[in-house]
Amino acid sequence: MSGRITSSLKQLWHKLGSPRWFYEITHNWVRFFGVSALLLLTVGFIWGIAFAPADYQQGNSFRIMYVHVPAAMVGQSLYLGMGVAGFVGLVWRMKLADVAIAATLPLGIGLTALALFSGSVWGRPTWGSWWEWDGRTVSTLVLLFLYLGIYALREAIADSNLRARAAALVSLVGTVNIPVIKYSVDWWNTLHQPASFSLTEKPAMPPEMWLPLLVMALGFYCFAAHNVLSRMRLEVLRREGKTRWVNELFAAPAASQSTER
């Protein structure tokens, strides 16, 4: 019995690794995440900008939070996702893992940079300077450098197979190191700036303020899922361009459309 379960699990695993299966199953997911992202981001944005009450200390400038916090969260999660993909790629040599890393990199870099930029814009009215060496800022900056390191490494390796393995290894090493780096930076931060003013962890943020934040965060996650998945699908097509199923896919549309209607 258990043998049957493990064998069917193995089959599922094998299926997961098949680019074709991935391409077919994600067709609807991409749409779902795209529509959800559009809805959530629109609702969250209007809610956060127009309806959430102004902060009693910071006035309206706190509204940057609705971009800053989700961008930072998703930026971090994406790196974690790359680490998982790296592990899968190294251990099971799954091709799709590298597709995932390649598709995640640009978005991760973009969102982490956005988090730093919006943090800086937010910091100007709040802290009085464009840049503070706050623990969270430093961690995010290091995260950006970890992303850029993988990016640079991928650019430097010509052979696609080796590029995949190297990128997988570095994402995994980076992911293992992130908690250590984060902890050490926090430790450093308390040492040097004991009275750092924490913006996002205010004990009592009223629901009218954090609900739109929640919606925005969900919206960002959906957007990231949409973006990464559609980029992965494109990459799968590019890599599998010579295989039969892709050729059939592009030879068929005329025929299949006419039968649908």
Q: Could you tell me how many residues make up the chain?
A: 261
Closest distance to another protein from the beta carbon of 182 (Å): 9
Choose, by CB under 8 A, the member of 130, 131, 133, 183 that binds another protein.
Answer: 183
Closest distance to another protein from the beta carbon of 110 (Å): 18
Nearer to another protein, 142 or 209 (CB): 142
**With binding defined as CB under 8 A, does residue 170 bind another protein?**
yes
Closest distance to another protein from the beta carbon of 156 (Å): 6
Site for another protein in 103-122 (CB under 8 A): none
Work out the end-to-end distance of the chain between its first and last CA atoms, rounded to an integer number of angstroms. 46
Q: How many CB atoms lie within 10 A of CB 3?
A: 7
**With binding defined as CB under 8 A, does residue 153 bind another protein?**
yes
Closest distance to another protein from the beta carbon of 158 (Å): 8
Closest distance to another protein from the beta carbon of 240 (Å): 10
Question: What does the CA dihedral 119, 206, 75, 47 come to, rounded to 10 degrees?
Answer: -90
Whole-angstrom Cα distance, residue 43 to residue 147? 31
Site for another protein in 187-226 (CB under 8 A): 187-188, 191
**With binding defined as CB under 8 A, does residue 157 bind another protein?**
yes
Closest distance to another protein from the beta carbon of 176 (Å): 7
How many of the chain's residues bind another protein (CB under 8 A)? 31
Residues of the shown chain interacting with another protein in the complex, contacts defined by CB under 8 A: 90, 142, 145-146, 148-149, 152-153, 156-157, 159-162, 165-166, 169-170, 172-174, 176-177, 180-181, 183-185, 187-188, 191
